[in-house]
Structure 1
């Protein structure tokens, strides 16, 4: 099995029969799998490649330079550089101080940059790439999703005005293949994303796996495909849709050793870039129209978007 592919070439302004069919195909992918390959997004491959080059240069910087933009100690201040092993995937938060910080307020997060004199050009290129992803999100992706759900095409735009998104540059260092095969080390364990949805850009290393919808606990590979962007639904949108759309477990493993392996027993480093989309924290959402009825009652109460994320981090949902 492989992920469905959604082609946006004919979406244009979202008012045509072709646009509706694209939206319906995106909806089907979100309902049945929770993941899809997207093509013809309008995000230039040259810009993606350039951002991967910047990411490689970033992670190759001396540690003392990277730490000039160190991630703060508080988990909810999700900005800056996190070193190898500092961040672990978890759906739960138990530290009392961190929980208190999460509960007590809606905090505006400022970006945390390495000073431009230490890494000239990075900030402008990163922001340009971020804005390109946001352009696709607002002009095409969210309208297509709304059409697929038989909603006005601007429906989701009303809930995504405040730019509550994150661009994360991810680096998985190379290591001896034996430590991955023995289970001594991994890359990132099975998890779901918290927010509305995610765009994931992969290099050519491979390793991403998604849980097979019909076989819980069985994961299928999602190999890099030139010219595609991987898209997936987050937990917030799954709740918002009354579990009509699927937020699916996924993980990253070291790619299997090939018969023609010429790597001297080393698994090469992997780079990926994730653009996480989030709803405006102060917007209250309730079950999407068309996702409930006499045979499918509402499972969840209306909730403020920021409160939902806090609940997830508080381990009470």
Structure 2
């Protein structure tokens, strides 16, 4: 049974920014993970996002398929994705909904009469998350001994590809087989912010090249986002900030709905 890990807790409201930047550096060098608190996203809004996510995923499949993903926005059905292509099993046991940048008018939305306030809730959540990520990036710049506005100067915040990804890992029958809600993978962008309903499942592998691989549990923290760096950030830092493989074991997960935003320095007309 993997041991639960402990990561630094980053308080986005803490006045001593250099101390917080040093904690971020520690978390990114050691694990590539940390917790983010006092991030400015209200618990009430997060609860509404959970509720609206559940409302959507509870719809009949034929209704959800009306919003099937295109332009990297919209619905992806159960087992339609498999992040670890080396597995011989069927696709990952999850369904998802992507919401991209609000300004490009490419997002797909449920009808207001079907899911009242769904769109407005998600748009507000997107804006709040992007604000939190913008503040976080200034601290990450400090942690790299750069100026606070470094990422702004290089254009990372000019029409960033900031995606919310709502995920549902459905209830599974008891089985001795490990079933993955999200098989082994790494995130592609700069950073990812995750918030969960508290049901366990997220794991990381710190030594990907070692066999057998050891997967360790990442516990959730009430009121906190779980933050992990992505491929792009690891590359930009020449491997100083470590990127680990992630997976989500699904056999213990019930109505686990994850929300994430990945902020990538990619032009709007490029694929994430």
Question: Can you list the C-alpha shifts for 1:115-174, whole angstroms capped at 9, x where unaligned?
Answer: 223222101100100110001111x20011001111110111232221311001000110
Specify the alignment match of 1:97 in structure 2: none
Q: Secondary structure at the match of 2:74?
A: coil
Name structure 2 gaps, 5 residues minimum: 87-103
State the aligned residue count.
248
Specify the alignment match of 1:62 in structure 2: 60
Question: Of the candidates 269, 284, 294, which is equivalent to residue 255 of structure 2?
Answer: 269
TM normalised by structure 1 equals 0.72
Given that 1:33 and 1:213 are in contact with CA atoms closer than 8 Å, whether structure 2 keeps it comes out as no
> Which sits farther off after the overlay, 215-224 or 124-133?
215-224
1:196 aligns with 2:167: no
1:42 to partner: Cα distance: 1.9
Specify the alignment match of 2:264 in structure 1: 278
Specify the alignment match of 1:85 in structure 2: 79
Q: Secondary structure at the match of 2:26?
A: helix
Indicate the RMSD between aligned Cα atoms, in angstroms.
2.4
1:10 to partner: Cα distance: 4.0
1:9 to partner: Cα distance: 4.9
TM normalised by structure 2 equals 0.83
Question: Of the candidates 239, 251, 254, which is equivalent to residue 243 of structure 1?
Answer: 239
> Which sits farther off after the overlay, 59-68 or 18-27?
59-68
Question: Of the candidates 4, 26, 33, which is equivalent to residue 28 of structure 1?
Answer: 26
Name structure 1 gaps, 5 residues minimum: 13-17, 93-107, 257-266, 283-304, 310-317
| 1:1-317 pair list within 5 angstroms | 2-11=5-14, 18-72=16-70, 77-90=71-84, 110-138=106-134, 140-157=135-152, 158-178=155-175, 181-183=176-178, 185-212=179-206, 216=210, 217-254=213-250, 268-281=254-267, 306=270
1:71 to partner: Cα distance: 1.1
1:90 to partner: Cα distance: 4.5
Q: Secondary structure at the match of 2:198?
A: coil
